[in-house]
């Protein structure tokens, strides 16, 4: 069962294909480009290249898995809109996975996963020793997150603010992991579960706001 995986929740623009079977899954192609300003330009070419590397076409896809964030508004919506539109056009289900879950926890340790939220903040969640999310996702200043009791931290946000978190920060995983996206969605894929709304986890309002009204030009 060939599945497309998309994530644009971080500066890492990711498109990948995976073959999912009842006994496991294999990532057959993965494209990732780190460029926080080019999500829209990179997404379609990466999908085309992943399909080419797998010797497949869009008609071979049985499902699409998309990272739902949290992430900045402009970048995150690129992956979700692409996944939703492709799913609708192809008549195949779409499944969402929290992108922080795809970074996840370090086995055997209480882990903080944090990505860069800009504005000097991080998106974050905490995972127990079994890798289950027990808190979050939230968006906060690093100093707020530093008050949490964890053993280790991962993610590009943790690396960026390592000096303020006061905990051991690992170099990897820095960005959401394709293999983990597939693992978290595998049960739904194999069951042929109904398509899910791909609701983005923005966690805060976008910078752009509607005008409050029209200013009169009359004297």
Q: Quickly count: other Cβ atoms within 10 Å of residue 162's Cβ.
A: 16
Residue 111's Cβ-count burial label (10 Å; 0-12, 13-18, 19+) is buried
pTM of the model: 0.92
**Same-fold call for 2-99+176-191 versus 111-169:** yes
Classified as helix, coil or strand, 204 is coil
| Per-residue tens of pLDDT for the chain, all 219 residues | 999 999 999 999 999 999 999 999 999 999 999 998 999 999 999 999 999 999 999 999 999 999 999 999 989 999 999 999 999 999 999 999 999 999 999 999 999 999 999 999 999 999 999 999 999 999 999 999 999 999 999 999 999 999 999 999 999 999 999 999 999 999 999 999 999 999 999 998 655 444 555 554 555
Q: What is the rounded distance in angstroms from the CA atom of residue 84 to the CA atom of residue 198?
A: 7
Domain locations along the chain: 2-99+176-191, 111-169
Is the domain spanning 2-99+176-191 CATH 3.30.420.40? The answer is yes
% of the chain beyond a pLDDT of 70: 93
Is the domain spanning 111-169 CATH 3.40.1010.10? The answer is no
């Amino acid at each position: 069962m060939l599945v497309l995986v998309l994530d644009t929740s971080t500066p890492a623009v990711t498109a990948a294909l995976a073959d999912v079977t009842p006994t496991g899954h294999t990532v057959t192609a993965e494209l990732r480009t780190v460029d926080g300003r080019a999500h829209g330009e990179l997404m379609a070419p990466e999908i085309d290249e992943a399909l080419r590397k797998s010797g497949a076409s869009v008609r071979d896809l049985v499902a699409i898995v998309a990272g739902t964030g949290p992430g900045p508004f402009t970048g995150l919506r690129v992956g979700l809109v692409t996944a939703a539109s492709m799913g609708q056009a192809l008549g195949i289900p779409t499944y969402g996975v929290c992108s922080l879950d795809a970074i996840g926890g370090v086995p055997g340790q209480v882990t903080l996963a944090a990505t860069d939220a800009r504005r000097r903040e991080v998106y974050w969640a905490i995972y127990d020793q079994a890798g289950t999310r027990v808190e979050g996702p939230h968006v906060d200043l690093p100093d707020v997150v530093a008050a949490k009791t964890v053993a280790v931290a991962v993610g590009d946000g943790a690396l960026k603010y390592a000096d303020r978190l006061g905990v051991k920060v690992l170099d990897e995983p820095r960005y959401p992991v394709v293999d983990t996206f597939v693992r978290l969605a595998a049960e739904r894929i194999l069951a042929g579960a109904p398509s899910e709304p791909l609701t983005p986890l923005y966690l805060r309002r976008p910078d752009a706001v509607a005008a409050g009204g029209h200013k009169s030009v009359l004297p």
